[in-house]
């Protein structure tokens, strides 16, 4: 995260708590956690403060030398935390910290957000790397690695540093609650946390979130300190729906059992249904016909989808809008699934390859590139870092 030290902090330079926060921030930046900036006068003062350790003084001296680079950070990062003296904890939308002639100001700017927080909301554990909370560890690794690769592709020179934690389905809400305690006691140790959850949406018009997303949303709304937590829900069904067709081809072309699935994916290159198919389990006509009981619009969406494709089904089932064979005996396979180990295969065969051509695959996929750009930006904002200061 981009941490901006407000000049007002210097007014309480003899306050022991303020001194501790200055030291903690410097030690964190020294280790390569987060990005820290301030105005010229504040940094000039801090680099000479006797109450700071020699390491902290060295860090603020280096930051003072890096002042010309600060504008680059401010322009590429849409979110920042402005640490101030006043007793506030508030979110300011469409605002941006600006650095003009070495002075920090808060200016209106569409698309940018600033978290304005008192120094008292931070303590010893606050400036460790941002926690990246996902349902499974491999999800976090994929978001982390693809963001790093994507930034390199876009020539954005930030590192990504996070502490990946997992909740495991519905228990994700419990992990989130444990990470970010409520602020009834202002001395509570608060940690920055970015949580990314599958939506489990079944169609573009499906307004119902999955159980895990609902549970996380409820916990998030209950947290007194929720502006120190960011959670986003995927616009697609789940992470498996975010991989370009080219990646699926690379991973599964040699598996003859996946030929039908790959063939359908190619047909769906520009069809939004690709974002809501269960890539793991596949699609059976029985499942779609069951939607008529749950949601008529959902049912209609998928029936029209089937009818738009050249797929063999039992005509009588479609005519009567019910499966005549039952769930276990249904043979109308719209698309066979790719299996439960898609993420492992993707990270082993595509993500770890770290080839910039993989970013080209994403950018050329019209259905997915905007969602990946959204994810890249939010992960960069919350998990950005620079190399350690040695």
Torsion angle of alpha carbons 73, 115, 186, 224, nearest 10°? Answer: -130
**Does residue 132 sit in helix, strand or coil?**
strand
Q: What is the DSSP string of 88-119?
A: -EEEEEEEEEEEETTEEEEEEEEEEEEEEEEG
Is 291's pLDDT higher than 80? no
Q: Give the separation between CA 56 and CA 197, rounded to whole angstroms.
A: 37
Between 20 and 358, whose confidence is greater? 20
Q: Is 319 exposed, middle or buried (0-12, 13-18, 19+ CB in 10 A)?
A: exposed
Between 235 and 167, whose confidence is greater? 235
Q: Give the separation between CA 269 and CA 238, rounded to whole angstroms.
A: 17
Asked which of 80-94, 151-165, 221-235 is least confident by mean pLDDT, the reply is 221-235
Q: Which of 84, 25, 15, 18 is nearest to 56 (CA)?
A: 25
Q: Which of 136, 130, 150, 155 is nearest to 344 (CA)?
A: 136
Q: Determine the pLDDT at residue 225.
A: 62
Reported confidence tier of residue 239, pLDDT bands at 50, 70, 90: very high
Terminal Cα distance for the chain, rounded: 20
pLDDT of 90-122, one tens digit each?
999 999 999 888 888 889 999 999 999 999 988
Q: Give the separation between CA 174 and CA 219, rounded to whole angstroms.
A: 8
Q: Give the separation between CA 339 and CA 118, rounded to whole angstroms.
A: 48
Q: Determine the pLDDT at residue 314.
A: 55
Q: Give the separation between CA 202 and CA 207, rounded to whole angstroms.
A: 9
Give percent of the chain with pLDDT exceeding 90.
Answer: 59
Evaluate whether 367 touches 305 at the Cβ level (below 8 Å).
no
Torsion angle of alpha carbons 121, 126, 129, 133, nearest 10°? Answer: -70
Q: Which of 145, 173, 176, 174 is nearest to 161 (CA)?
A: 145
Is 182's pLDDT higher than 70? no
Average pLDDT of the chain, as a whole number: 88
Reported confidence tier of residue 169, pLDDT bands at 50, 70, 90: low
Q: Give the separation between CA 87 and CA 118, rounded to whole angstroms.
A: 5
Is 80's pLDDT higher than 50? yes
Q: Determine the pLDDT at residue 61.
A: 97
**Does residue 76 sit in helix, strand or coil?**
helix
Give percent of the chain with pLDDT exceeding 70.
Answer: 90
Q: Could you count the other beta carbons within 10 Å of the beta carbon of residue 90? A: 12
Q: Determine the pLDDT at residue 188.
A: 56
Give every CB contact of residue 385 below 8 A, 6+ residues apart in sequence: 32, 33, 34, 35, 129, 158, 159, 160, 161
Mean pLDDT computed over 216-222: 85
Work out whether strand 89-100 and strand 130-134 pair parallel, antiparallel, or are unpaired. unpaired
Q: Determine the pLDDT at residue 184.
A: 40
Evaluate whether 179 touches 193 at the Cβ level (below 8 Å).
yes
Full-model pTM: 0.92
Exposure on the CB side of residue 264, measured as CA atoms within 13 A: 24
Reported residue count of the chain is 390
Q: Give the separation between CA 77 and CA 2, rounded to whole angstroms.
A: 8
Reported confidence tier of residue 9, pLDDT bands at 50, 70, 90: very high
**Does residue 388 sit in helix, strand or coil?**
coil
Reported confidence tier of residue 249, pLDDT bands at 50, 70, 90: very high
Q: Determine the pLDDT at residue 13.
A: 94
């Amino acid at each position: 995260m981009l941490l901006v030290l407000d000049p007002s902090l210097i007014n309480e330079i003899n306050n022991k708590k303020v001194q501790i926060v200055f030291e903690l921030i410097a030690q964190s930046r020294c280790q390569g956690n987060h990005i820290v900036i301030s105005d010229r006068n504040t940094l000039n003062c801090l680099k000479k403060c006797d109450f700071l350790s020699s390491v902290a003084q060295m860090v603020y001296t280096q930051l003072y030398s890096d002042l010309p680079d600060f504008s680059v950070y401010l322009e590429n990062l849409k979110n920042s935390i402005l640490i101030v003296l006043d007793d506030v904890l508030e979110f300011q939308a469409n605002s941006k910290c600006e650095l003009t002639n070495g002075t920090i100001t808060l200016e209106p700017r569409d698309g940018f957000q600033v978290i304005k927080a008192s120094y008292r909301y931070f303590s010893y554990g606050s400036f460790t790397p941002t926690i990246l909370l996902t349902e499974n560890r491999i999800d976090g690794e994929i978001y982390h690695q693809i963001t790093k690769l994507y930034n390199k592709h876009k020539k954005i020179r930030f590192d990504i540093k996070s502490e990946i934690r997992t909740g495991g389905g519905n228990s994700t809400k419990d992990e989130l609650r444990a990470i970010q305690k409520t602020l009834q006691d202002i001395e509570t140790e608060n940690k920055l946390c970015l949580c990314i959850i599958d939506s489990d949406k079944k169609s573009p018009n499906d307004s119902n979130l999955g159980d895990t997303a609902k549970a996380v949303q409820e916990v998030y709304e209950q947290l007194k300190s929720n502006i120190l937590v960011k959670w986003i829900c995927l616009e697609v069904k789940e992470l498996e729906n975010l991989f370009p067709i080219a990646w699926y081809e690379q991973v599964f072309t040699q598996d003859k059992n996946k030929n039908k699935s790959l063939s359908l994916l190619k047909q769906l290159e520009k069809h939004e249904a690709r974002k809501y198919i269960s890539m793991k389990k596949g699609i059976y006509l029985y499942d779609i016909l069951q939607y008529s009981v749950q949601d008529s619009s959902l049912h209609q969406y998928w029936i029209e989808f089937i009818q738009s494709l050249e797929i063999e089904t039992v005509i009588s089932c479609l005519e009567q809008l019910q499966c005549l064979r039952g769930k276990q005996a249904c043979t109308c396979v719209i698309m066979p699934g790719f299996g439960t180990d898609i993420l492992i295969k993707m990270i082993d065969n595509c993500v770890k390859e770290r080839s910039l051509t993989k970013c080209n695959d994403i950018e050329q996929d019209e259905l997915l590139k905007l969602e990946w750009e959204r994810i890249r930006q939010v992960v960069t904002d919350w998990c950005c870092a620079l190399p350690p200061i040695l």
